[in-house]
């Protein structure tokens, strides 16, 4: 499995080098926060999301 993941990682790196520059998409990606949202989220899941978001924001301060 480790060898497969390494091969996938290498393939992605090659494809990224071949990809054209997409400055608008890159900027949007840097400015967008995607949070999990679906009907199967439990209260525990939501608490973890909030805790991780708080941890991340505190690390930036």
Give the pLDDT confidence of 6-29 residue by residue, as tens digits.
Answer: 888 888 778 878 777 788 988 898
Encoded tokens for 37: 């949202």
Give the residue from 36, 38, 33 showing the smallest Cα distance to 60: 33
The residues spanned by each domain of the chain are: 2-60
- What is the pLDDT, as a whole number, of residue 52? 92
Sign of torsion over alpha carbons 43, 44, 46, 50: positive
At residue 46, the pLDDT reads 94
> How does DSSP classify residue 9?
H
pLDDT band at 44 (very low <50, low <70, confident <90, very high): very high
Q: Are 37 and 28 in contact (CB under 8 A)?
A: no
Q: Quote the pTM value.
A: 0.53
pLDDT greater than 80 at residue 5: yes
């Amino acid at each position: 499995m480790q060898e497969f993941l390494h091969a996938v990682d290498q393939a992605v790196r090659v494809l990224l080098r071949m990809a054209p520059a997409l400055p608008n998409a890159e900027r949007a990606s840097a400015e967008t926060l995607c949070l999990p949202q679906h009907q199967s989220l439990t209260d525990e899941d939501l608490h973890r999301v909030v805790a991780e978001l708080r941890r991340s924001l505190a690390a930036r301060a």
